Structure 1
């Protein structure tokens, strides 16, 4: 009778051994994955920190800002800690709420003062584009804002 229970015990022992080993490998793989994603999180944090500046519009939808706003170029400032954005739209001051998550950016609730000026149509287009943004990238002194994979706004860090 003892010989009949031994094979069953051995089978159960090997099953536990195999299952336990595979769980250990899975845990190690998950730890390795977490370690490899740290640089991405750090990069996103660095981009968020780099946003904390005054940015001057250089291009809007592929057009040079000098052609669209010959007198006063729009600017934008990000307050990442407070999740806010503010700036000058070419004629009027504006502000809104900011959401960041990695390279994802969303600007909502944009409101502006109502002063009249010659570039009012361009200003309204600029403010509308801001609310379409879904991705951003900071490279050196250049900020690129994208929507649906299309580059819409390019800013340069103001000096």
Structure 2
């Protein structure tokens, strides 16, 4: 019995040892980007609320922005040149007292951002050398 058991363990260890996990890198376009940091503070989504997010996608040769600011839907367009980005945004205009600070922040960031950086699963928007906001990629099932 010992002779059979040892080769099975060796075979198991050889085939099933952990492999190094490769870092995933999200793409700017066609990724759901959840706002995760605002003014250096984490953005917490209330239990009964929808996440603040953006999605950038190319369709029929046009680059389209869509998302949610915390109270209102967002739409618009964007242009890319390398890591340079320029947003044009539109939004509905409902007022939601508890989430307007986040929405106003996001709208301002999208207006001011002029370039971006993606590291792993994180998107950062900048104006010149000034960090504006951080987003985390979310994979929907």
1:77 aligned residue: 55
2:114 aligned residue: 134
Q: Structure 1 regions of 5+ residues with no counterpart?
A: 1-45
1:100 aligned residue: 80
Say whether the 8 Å CA contact 1:62–1:152 is kept in structure 2.
no
Query: Considering only CA atoms, is the larger Rg found in Structure 1 or Structure 2?
Result: 1
2:91 aligned residue: 112
2:15 aligned residue: none
| Shift of residue 153, structure 1, vs aligned partner | 1.0
In the alignment, the residues of structure 1 paired with residue 36 and residue 121 of structure 2 have an alpha-carbon distance, to the nearest angstrom, of: 12
1:25 aligned residue: none
Greater RCO (Cα-Cα under 8 Å, separation 6 or more): 2
**Aligned pairs, number:** 110
Segments of 4+ in structure 1 off by > 6 A?
none
Task: Quote the RMSD (CA, aligned, Å).
Answer: 2.0
Say whether the 8 Å CA contact 1:60–1:154 is kept in structure 2.
yes
Q: Secondary structure at the match of 2:112?
A: coil
- Normalised by the length of structure 2, the TM-score is 0.69
The structure with the largest helix share of the pair is 1
In the alignment, the residues of structure 2 paired with residue 134 and residue 61 of structure 1 have an alpha-carbon distance, to the nearest angstrom, of: 17
Q: Structure 2 regions of 5+ residues with no counterpart?
A: 1-24
Q: Which digits, 9 at most, give the CA deviation of each residue in 1:30-50, with x for residues without a partner? A: xxxxxxxxxxxxxxxx98x54
What does 1:37-76 align with in structure 2 at a 5 Å threshold? Answer: 49-66=27-44, 70=46, 71-76=49-54
The structure with the largest strand share of the pair is 2
In the alignment, the residues of structure 1 paired with residue 28 and residue 92 of structure 2 have an alpha-carbon distance, to the nearest angstrom, of: 27
- Normalised by the length of structure 1, the TM-score is 0.62
| Shift of residue 63, structure 1, vs aligned partner | 1.8
